[in-house]
C-alpha cells in the first residue's frame, strides 16, 4: 500500500495566493515563477517523487512514462510542460540580460498562459487522482 502523502496544503494555498496577488499587481515574472514552482510541486505530489535532486525535466519524463504505462497514446501535457520549462529558462536569462522591467513587460502573456496551464493540468490530473485537490491544489482561486 502506498504511504500517505504529506500535507502540503497550507504551503500550496499560500503559494497560490501569492501568485494570484502578483498577477493582480502586474508582477508577471513572479507569477510565472510561482506557477512553475506550483506545477513542479503538483508533479512531485502526483508522481510521489520526493527526491531532492530531480529536475523539472526529470519530472516531465516520469509523467510521460506514467502516461505510456497507462496506455495513453497521446502524451497529454508533456509538450506543454517541456515548453513551459524552456520559457522559464528564457525568462531567467532575460532577467540577467535585460533586467526586471523589460522582462516583466515581456512576460505578461506568459504569466497568463501559465495560470491557465496550471488550472487545466490540475483538472487533467484529477482524472487519474481525485485526491489532488484535497492536497490543496486548486484552479479557481488563482
In a domain, 110, yes or no: yes
Count of structural domains, the chain: 1
In a domain, 142, yes or no: no
| Helix (H/G/I), strand (E/B), else coil: 59 | helix
Cell of 99: 533586467
In a domain, 73, yes or no: yes
For residue 1, what pLDDT is reported?
40
In a domain, 75, yes or no: yes
In a domain, 141, yes or no: no
* pLDDT tens, residue by residue, 2-39: 666 667 788 888 999 999 999 999 999 999 999 999 99
SS3 annotation, 110-141: HHHHHHHHHHHHHHHHHCCCCHHHHCCCCCCC
Q: How far apart are CA 91 and CA 52, in angstroms?
A: 23
* pLDDT tens, residue by residue, 72-118: 877 889 999 999 999 999 999 999 999 999 999 999 999 999 999 99
What is the span of the domain harbouring residue 52? 9-134
- Four-point Cα dihedral 60, 18, 48, 86, nearest 10: 10
| Helix (H/G/I), strand (E/B), else coil: 54 | coil
Average pLDDT, the chain: 91
For residue 105, what pLDDT is reported?
97
In a domain, 123, yes or no: yes
CA–CA distances in Å: residue 16 to residues 62, 71, 117: 24, 32, 14
For residue 5, what pLDDT is reported?
66
Amino acid at each position: 500500500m502506498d504511504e500517505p502523502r504529506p500535507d502540503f496544503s497550507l504551503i500550496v494555498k499560500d503559494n497560490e495566493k501569492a501568485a494570484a496577488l502578483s498577477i493582480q499587481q502586474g508582477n508577471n515574472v513572479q507569477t510565472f515563477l510561482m506557477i512553475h514552482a506550483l506545477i513542479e510541486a503538483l508533479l512531485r505530489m502526483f508522481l510521489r517523487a520526493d527526491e531532492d535532486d530531480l529536475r523539472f525535466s526529470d519530472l516531465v519524463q516520469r509523467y510521460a512514462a506514467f502516461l505510456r504505462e497507462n496506455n495513453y497514446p497521446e502524451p497529454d501535457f508533456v509538450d506543454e510542460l517541456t515548453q513551459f520549462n524552456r520559457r522559464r529558462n528564457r525568462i531567467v536569462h532575460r532577467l540577467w540580460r535585460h533586467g526586471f522591467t523589460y522582462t516583466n513587460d515581456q512576460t505578461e502573456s506568459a504569466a497568463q498562459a501559465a495560470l491557465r496551464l496550471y488550472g487545466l493540468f490540475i483538472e487533467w490530473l484529477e482524472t487519474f487522482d481525485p485526491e489532488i485537490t484535497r492536497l490543496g491544489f486548486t484552479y479557481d482561486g488563482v
